[in-house]
Amino acid sequence: MNEVKSIAESEKEIIEDFSLFDSWDEKYEYIIELGKKLPLLNPVYRTDDHIVKGCQSTVWLGSSFRDGKVFYEADSDAIIVKGLISLLIRILSGHRPDEIIQAQLECIKVIGMASHLAQTRANGLLAMVKQMKNDALAYQLQNQLNQAE
């Protein structure tokens, strides 16, 4: 596995990637491409328990905890949401729970995709970020309990 970049490094990289695009069309083409390339979701996560329900599209989110770090995988029935999820996974996956919980995800604003995280967008992406952080919080608490024993 490649060395995991810090959250700040990943965010910086994403901002650099998007700065290459001149138009919104190019940005969306790239996001669609990311969506298509997102690795297949482990079938154990494709259950109702793992659905993060948006108003329109459905997101499946799975996470695991190894060596003090949280790893995510996800899928969606909508391709642009899937591309945006791919960015979130690139930023957050492989980090400690406290880092994930504190992540502000400023780069989403910088690349002009903030509206997808706004309350007005009923696409489940905001719910997805919340769920990713909730999972991280749950692993953190579990870890603290285990250490206390």
Partner 1 sequence: MNMNVTSGIESGFDIKDIRQHFPILQRQVKGKPLIYFDNAATSQKPQIVLDALSNYYGHYNANIHRGIHTLAEEATAAFEETRDAIRDFIHAGHREEIIFTKGTTESINLVAYTWGRANIQDGDEILISNMEHHSNIVPWQILCKEKNALLKIIPVNDEGELDMEAYKKLISHKTKLVSVVHVSNALGTINPVKDIIRLAHQAGAVVLIDGAQSAVHLDIDVAEMDCDFFAFSMHKLFGPTGVGILYGKKDILENMPPFMGGGEMIKEVHFDKTTYASLPYKFEAGTPNIADVNACKAALVFIDKIGKENLRQHENELLAYATRELKKIDGLHIIGNAKHKVSVISFIVDKIHPQDLGILLDNSGIAVRTGHHCTQPLMQRFGIPGTVRASFSVYNTTEEIDTFVLALKKAIKMLA
- Which positions lie near partner 1, rule CB under 8 A? 24-25, 28-29, 32, 55-58, 77-81, 122-123
Q: Is 107 a catalytic residue?
A: no
Nearer to partner 1, 20 or 55 (CB): 55
On whether the CB atoms of residues 58 and 124 are closer than 8 A, the answer is yes
Residue with tokens 């591309």: 83
Q: Compare residues 75 and 135 and give the one whose CB is closer to partner 1.
A: 75
Residues sharing a CB contact under 8 Å with residue 89, sequence separation 6 or more, in sequence order:
38, 72, 73, 74
- Least Å distance, CB 136 to partner 1, is 27
Smallest separation, CB 56 to partner 1 (Å): 4
List 20, 55, 145, 148, catalytic entry: 55
Closest separation between CB of residue 78 and partner 1, Å?
Answer: 4
Q: Mutual orientation of helices 24-37 and 7-19 as an angle, nearest 10°?
A: 130
Local structure of 64: helix, strand or coil: strand
Quote the CA–CA distance of 100 and 93 in Å, as a whole number. Answer: 8
**Shortest distance in whole angstroms from residue 141 CB to partner 1:** 34
Residues in the chain: 149
Amino acid sitting at position 126: L
CA atoms of 78 and 96, how far apart (whole Å): 29
Nearer to partner 1, 3 or 25 (CB): 25
Output 24 or 149, the one with its CB closest to partner 1.
24
Residues marked active site are found at 55
